[in-house]
Amino acid sequence: MDTPTVTRFAPSPTGHLHLGHAHAALFAWDQAHARGGRFLLRVEDIDKGRCRDEFENDILDDIAWLGEGLDGFGWEQPLRRQSDCMADYEQALARLDHMGLLYPCFCTRTEIRAEIEAAVSAPHGPDGPLYPGLCRGLGPEQRQARRQGGESYALRLDMAKAITLAGKMAGGGGLEWQDVGKGVIAARPELHGDVVLARKDVATSYHLAVTIDDHNQEVSLVTRGEDLFAATHVHRLLQALLGLNVPDYHHHGLIVGPGGQRLAKRDRAATLRALREDGVTPAAAREMAGF
Ligand code: GLU
């Protein structure tokens, strides 16, 4: 028997949900529901500076409203929050560190920018210029001294080493994932350079947390907006290095505003809150979100 499809919606409580989030949530639910699977919720609240409890409460309230009358649209108890899973991320970091794939990066944003501006050519990745590698070559004594001096640091993945090791672990074969609609995609994590896996202010990162959570929640089909397509290159590499499940992916189109612009949390008119206040029904909101 086939294992049931498990999908998830993973909002960050940094603002109110808008129609774009409603589309993402309904898309995930629809994919699971059509196959008799499970739809899960995960609160991505690692960014303590930007996340707020009141947004989480409002998000849950909006999700309950949006899903009125839909079978299995909601969340399981206990609600999964990334901030409760820090031990999982710590364990994964320790493993990658043990494999010799992490290094501390003491750079400030200003230092990184200055280095990029001074460079003759600065390679760019999906999220902008790549980290120029300033801290990659520090020796063990220098690292030790700067840590002891109390300098804060992020942990970066040594991308070249990581790719070489993942290649060896895979017996020389390349990494790929199955993207619904797009077919088999060859992973190209090198496009991202030495990504941060643990930030200076929080001991994890989007890439690390999301990959581990999808494994731990046994998500079999990751559905998310096509704006996150490029992130999957990194996630696929982390799965290989950490021996995690490789789900299928479905990167869907984004809902845009009347002027063709991407919706943002600050576009109040498109928030589910505002629609509710205007007397829009859940069914009408679902239709506006494409369902
Ligand atoms: N937390 C992310 C967001 O709110 C979604 C992450 C994901 O689906 O991988 O955009």
Q: What is the pLDDT of residues 134-185, one digit of tens each?
A: 999 999 999 999 999 999 999 999 999 999 999 999 887 889 999 998 999 9
Between residues 258 and 166, which one has the greater pLDDT? Answer: 166
What is the rounded distance in angstroms from the CA atom of residue 278 to the CA atom of residue 18? 14
Two structure tokens written together for 160: 């070249």
What does 146-192 look like in DSSP terms, one character per residue? HHHTT---EEEE-HHHHHHHHHHHTTTPPPEEEETTTEEEE--GGGG
Name the burial class of residue 161, with classes exposed (0-12), middle (13-18) and buried (19+) by CB atoms within 10 angstroms of its CB.
Answer: middle
For residue 227, the ligand 1 atom closest to its alpha carbon is 10
Q: Whose CA is nearest to atom 6 of ligand 1?
A: 10
Q: How far apart (Å, rounded) are the C-alpha atoms in residues 7 and 224?
A: 10
76 pLDDT tier (thresholds 50, 70, 90): confident
For residue 8, how far is its CA from the centre of ligand 1 (angstroms)? 10
How far is ligand 1, taken at its centre, from the CA of residue 24, in Å?
9
Residues with CB under 6 A from ligand 1: 10-12, 44, 210, 224, 228
Enumerate residues 6+ apart whose C-beta is below 8 A from 261: none
Segment 183-194, tens digit of pLDDT? 999 999 999 999
Sign of the torsion formed by the C-alpha atoms of 54, 55, 58 and 59: negative
What is the 42 CA–ligand 1 centroid distance (Å)? 9
Question: Where does residue 259 fall: left (phi above 0), alpha (psi -120 to 50 degrees), or beta otherwise?
Answer: alpha
pLDDT value of residue 35: 95
What does the alpha-carbon distance between residue 224 and residue 42 come to, in Å, rounded to a whole number? 13
Which residue's CA is the closest to the ligand 1 atom numbered 5?
A: 10
Identify whether the C-beta of residue 222 lies closer than 8 Å to the C-beta of residue 249. yes
Check residue 1 and give its pLDDT: 55
Order of strands, sheet of 80-81, starting from the edge strand that comes earlier in the sequence? 6-9, 38-43, 80-81
pLDDT digits over 5-64, tens only? Answer: 999 999 999 999 999 999 999 999 999 999 999 999 999 999 999 999 999 999 999 999
- What pLDDT does residue 46 have? 97
What is the residue whose two structure tokens read 């109040």?
268
Task: Let me know how long the chain is.
Answer: 291
Q: How far is CA 165 from CA 94, 117, 138, 209, in A?
A: 16, 32, 21, 21
Alpha carbon distance, N-terminus to C-terminus of the chain: 30
Taking the centre of ligand 1 as the mean of its atom positions, its distance from the CA of residue 232, in whole angstroms, is 12
Top pLDDT among 276 and 77 is at: 276
Strand 183-186 and strand 176-179: the pairing is antiparallel
Phi, psi of 262 (to 5 degrees): -65, 140
pLDDT tens column, 96-135 = 999 999 999 999 999 999 999 999 888 999 999 999 999 9
How far is the centre of ligand 1, averaged over its atoms, from the C-alpha of 191 (Å)? 20
